């Protein structure tokens, strides 16, 4: 269960948002929208602990995420604009090293299977340098298949993905939500997500959260 | 106990610290002028001529004072920086940024006066003496701090990156000093180091102390003035700054 | 001690006045630079305030 | 926990192997800088023998500074560094892993090349032995202290030069004890004292540098 209380973030000397409060519990999806520069990415980076907010408190299961630190990051996976993929490594190596970092032990064939399900059959052992932007994105998203983290923070996960990948990712998100997981994402495409619990949070331009 | 903590934090907000600093500057400036005045008078008219080094030794009243200040300011800077990092109070971080240029100035002056003192005594402008060499390295540490902070645009990151560098630096100063000491004795044996000079009479000690206090008061006045500038620069689009400065013109 | 003797400083005049002179010089220059910096930021704030007034 | 440490070291070594040229450029820089001094100072063997420890050590210092640029920059650019920050393992351990791999790729070659350059300066056998030992103790310390500078100047324009300005003053003790040990051995005084100090500095930086570098990374990635 995530609670955010009176959060305020400043970028340079611009106050992106202030007095922002909302909460998110198991099985819920938080859809974050707002024009460019409204602080969506900054909010996500603050929530996952990469960025220290100037004001306010972020609590996970009632405890501040700064105290929890490692326990909290174990529960979170953050995929930002930058994929975190090393161009010189193959998709397989990238996936296994990222999983080890997540604390998930992934065997060789589990990795093959994950890459297969994400639609990268035949590209598994090529250096990711030769893959297209969409394929690199898929490698980054393949982590989600093997990851036990409860809380997914995805910054525009659908960019550069083709139709098939978008629907596949939607299904993966639905399964995660159904199994009690939590997802917070931003996207510019009009994507129909789940019928269930979808919370909306608008940033920028009268950014009072209507959650 | 809690009331004292509360008011400490009250001062840590720029809006309350700015006028307070403004009120203190005149007092410290006055103290500096008086102390330095007395110190200078004593340096030239009260302190006796040194039997060995003649009048040239009087440089010691400036050299030792500024060298001591350069070390002291770096430690104070690291302390403020550490406070700013731990308590996330912006004014302490600004104090560290404000201290650095004055510290660097004192370090340069210490090197300058050291060289001018070395020339008549040992015939060379620069002596690889342990203290002078450590002073030179201290200047590099100051320049590194200032360069790092000016290379980072985001004020918060500049404060915290500078704080880490200052803390790492302050931990390294004793190690650097010790290794330079070791290096100096190994290579040159016991040459006359700059600071030994003639034995310290009480009058000279007093003169040096007064001069140092004068430098100290000067440093506080200048640093407070600089921190006020930094506060204005960083808080320029806040309401309290506009009310304060906006109506001036 | 006549003025000339005083300035000669027993032959060390150049070094003594070189040290004291530069020290005091820098202790005058630094505050002056600060005053310039303060005036610059005040002017900038005033200009921004005027621009804001102009906008409204 | 230790498994992630090994995973980071293995990953960085694989990456270095795939870009072998980076590793060699650092080594060539070291060799070229050392070989320049005789051209500047003259071929006189006595003077060269005298300045050999200092020259090799300063060149090793500069080569290490040069190599720092790559330590975090690439991971920062492609987002891998963010994932390391978000990994549930202690960041200082991951930093130690990266520095270990970085040393294996850039520091160790310097140590292996040093005897060859020592011969170029006609160093005695004892001198060469101590030179290798001091570099073996010193170059990891340089990488560790350098990691703090690299983390602080992440993503800054002109970061490469700035790292050297920040880090070189902090590496002076390593230089003094490293070069001093070799010189003391050659002059018969015995370099044990220096080497024990160098080892002490290495242990200190092994413990404190990753903590400081991790804190610096958190500040820089924000």
Choose, out of D172, D190, D191, the residue to mutate when testing the contact with B (most B CBs < 10 Å): D172
| Per-residue confidence (pLDDT) for residue A196, from 0 to 100 | 63
Q: Which residues of chain B lie closer than 8 angstroms to C30, CB-CB?
A: 101-102, 105, 222
* pLDDT, tens only, D147-177: 999 999 998 988 889 999 999 999 999 999 9
Q: Which residues pair with D101 in a beta bridge?
A: none
* pLDDT, tens only, D83-96: 999 988 899 999 99
Please tell me which of the candidates C19, C44, C50 has its beta carbon nearest to residue B59.
C19
**A207 within a domain of the structure (yes/no):** no
| Per-residue confidence (pLDDT) for residue B131, from 0 to 100 | 87
- Give D220 or B45, the one with higher predicted confidence: D220
Residues A87 and A128 sit within 8 Å (Cβ to Cβ): yes
Q: A14 CB near a chain B CB, below 8 Å? A: no
Please tell me which of the candidates A76, A82, A93 has its beta carbon nearest to residue D86.
A76
Cα-flanking dihedrals φ and ψ of residue A34, to 5°? Answer: 160, 155
Strand ranges in chain D using DSSP code E only, listed in sequence order: none
Q: For chain B, give every domain's residue range.
A: 62-235
**A54 within a domain of the structure (yes/no):** yes
* pLDDT, tens only, B113-131: 999 988 888 888 888 888 8
Token pair 């500074």 is at which residue? D65
| Per-residue confidence (pLDDT) for residue D53, from 0 to 100 | 94
Write down the mean pLDDT value for chain B: 86
Structure tokens at D206: 């092994």
Structure tokens at B212: 């140092």
| Per-residue confidence (pLDDT) for residue B25, from 0 to 100 | 95
Number of neighbours of residue D116 by Cβ within 10 angstroms: 11
Choose, out of C7, C8, C13, C49, the residue to mutate when testing the contact with B (most B CBs < 10 Å): C49
Contact yes or no for D159 and B175 at CB 8 A: no
Structure tokens at D181: 């040990």
* pLDDT, tens only, D139-155: 999 999 999 999 999 98
In terms of Cβ atoms closer than 10 Å to its own Cβ (0-12, 13-18, 19+), residue D217 is buried
Residues B144 and D166 sit within 8 Å (Cβ to Cβ): yes
Choose, out of B154, B160, B231, the residue to mutate when testing the contact with A (most A CBs < 10 Å): B154
Q: What is the DSSP string of A110-164?
A: HHHHHHHHTT-TT-TTSBGGGS-HHHHHHHHHHHHHH---SEEEEESTTTT--HH
- Angle at the Cα of D28 from the Cα atoms of D26 and D32, rounded to 5 degrees: 120
- Read off the CATH number of the domain in which A111 is found: 3.40.50.300
Contact yes or no for D11 and A52 at CB 8 A: no
Q: Averaging pLDDT over each range in A135-149, B139-153, B232-246, which range is the top one?
A: B139-153
D44-47: which pairs have CB atoms within 8 A and are 24 or more residues apart? D45/D122
The number of folded domains in chain A is: 1
Give the CA distances from residue A74 to residues A46, A148, D50, in Å, rounded to whole numbers and listed in that order: 16, 9, 56
| Per-residue confidence (pLDDT) for residue A153, from 0 to 100 | 92
Q: For chain C, give every domain's residue range.
A: 13-55
Global pTM exceeds 0.95: no
Q: Which residues of chain B lie closer than 8 angstroms to D176, CB-CB?
A: 179-180, 182-183
Q: A12 CB near a chain B CB, below 8 Å? A: yes
Determine the average pLDDT of the residues in D106-131.
93
Determine the average pLDDT of the residues in A105-120.
85
Percent of chain A at pLDDT exceeding 70: 93
Determine the average pLDDT of the residues in A33-56.
87
Structure tokens at B211: 């001069």
Strand order in the sheet with A14-24: A14-24, A2-11, A55-60, A63-64
């Amino acid at each position: 269960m995530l609670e955010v209380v009176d959060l305020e973030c400043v970028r340079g000397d611009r106050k992106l948002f202030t007095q922002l409060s909302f909460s998110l519990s198991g099985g819920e999806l938080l859809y974050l929208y707002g024009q460019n520069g409204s602080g969506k990415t900054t909010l996500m980076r603050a929530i996952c602990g990469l960025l220290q907010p100037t004001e306010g408190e972020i609590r996970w299961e009632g405890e501040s995420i700064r105290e929890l630190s490692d326990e909290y990051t174990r529960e979170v996976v953050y995929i930002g604009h930058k994929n975190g993929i090393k161009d010189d490594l193959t998709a397989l190596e990238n996936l296994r090293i990222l999983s080890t970092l997540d604390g998930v032990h992934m065997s060789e064939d589990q990795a093959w299977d994950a890459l297969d399900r994400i639609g990268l059959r035949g590209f598994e052992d090529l250096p990711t340098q030769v893959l297209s932007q969409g394929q690199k994105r898929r490698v980054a998203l393949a982590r989600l298949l093997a990851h036990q983290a409860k809380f997914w923070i995805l910054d525009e996960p659908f960019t550069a993905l083709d139709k098939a990948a978008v629907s596949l990712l939607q299904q993966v998100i639905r399964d995660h939500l159904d199994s009690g997981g939590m997802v917070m994402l931003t996207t510019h495409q009009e994507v129909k997500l789940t019928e269930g619990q979808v919370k909306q949070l608008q940033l920028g331009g009268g950014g009072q959260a209507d959650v | 106990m809690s009331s004292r903590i509360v008011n400490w934090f009250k001062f840590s907000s720029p809006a309350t610290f700015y006028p307070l600093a403004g009120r203190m500057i005149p007092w410290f400036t006055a103290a500096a002028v008086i102390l330095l005045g007395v110190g200078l008078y004593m340096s030239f008219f009260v302190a006796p001529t040194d039997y060995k080094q003649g009048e040239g030794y009087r440089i010691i009243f400036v050299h030792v004072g500024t060298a001591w200040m350069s070390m002291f300011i770096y430690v104070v800077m690291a302390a403020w920086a550490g406070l700013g990092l731990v308590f996330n109070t912006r004014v302490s971080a600004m104090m560290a940024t404000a201290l650095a240029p004055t510290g660097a100035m004192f370090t340069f002056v210490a090197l300058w006066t050291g060289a001018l003192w070395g020339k008549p005594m040992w015939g060379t402008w620069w002596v690889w003496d342990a203290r002078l060499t450590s002073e030179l390295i201290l200047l590099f540490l100051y320049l590194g701090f200032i360069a790092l902070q000016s290379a980072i645009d985001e004020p918060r990151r500049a404060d915290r990156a500078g704080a880490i560098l200052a803390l790492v630096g302050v931990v390294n100063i004793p190690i650097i000093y010790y290794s330079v000491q070791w290096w100096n004795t190994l290579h040159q044996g016991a040459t006359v180091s700059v600071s030994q000079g003639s034995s310290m009479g009480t009058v000279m000690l007093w003169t040096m102390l007064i001069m140092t206090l004068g430098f100290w008061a000067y440093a506080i006045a200048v640093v407070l003035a600089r921190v006020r500038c930094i506060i204005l620069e960083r808080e320029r689009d806040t309401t309290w700054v506009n009310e304060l400065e906006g109506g001036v013109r | 001690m006549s003025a000339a003797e005083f300035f000669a400083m027993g032959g060390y005049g150049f070094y003594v006045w070189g040290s004291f002179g530069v020290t005091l010089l820098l202790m005058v220059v630094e505050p002056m630079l600060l005053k310039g910096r303060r005036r610059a930021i005040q002017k900038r704030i005033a200009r921004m305030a005027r621009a804001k007034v102009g906008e409204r | 926990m230790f498994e992630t440490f090994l995973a980071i070291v293995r990953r960085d070594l694989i990456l270095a192997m795939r870009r072998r040229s980076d590793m060699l450029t650092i080594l060539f820089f070291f060799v070229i800088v050392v070989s320049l001094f005789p051209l500047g100072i003259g071929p006189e063997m006595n003077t060269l023998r005298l300045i050999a420890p200092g020259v090799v050590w300063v060149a090793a210092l500069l080569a290490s500074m040069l190599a720092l640029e790559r330590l975090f920059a690439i991971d920062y650019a492609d987002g891998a560094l963010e994932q390391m920050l978000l990994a549930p393992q202690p960041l200082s351990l991951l930093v130690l892993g990266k520095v270990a791999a970085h040393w294996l790729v850039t520091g160790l070659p310097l140590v292996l090349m040093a005897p060859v350059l020592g011969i170029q300066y006609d160093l005695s056998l004892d001198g060469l032995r101590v030179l290798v030992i001091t570099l073996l103790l010193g170059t990891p310390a340089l990488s560790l202290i350098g990691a703090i500078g690299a983390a602080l100047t992440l993503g800054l324009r002109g970061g490469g030069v700035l790292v050297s300005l920040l880090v070189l003053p902090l590496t002076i003790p390593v230089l003094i004890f490293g070069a001093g040990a070799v010189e003391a051995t050659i002059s018969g005084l015995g370099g044990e004292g220096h080497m024990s100090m160098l080892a002490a500095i290495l242990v200190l930086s092994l413990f404190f540098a990753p903590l400081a570098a991790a804190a610096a990374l958190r500040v820089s990635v924000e």
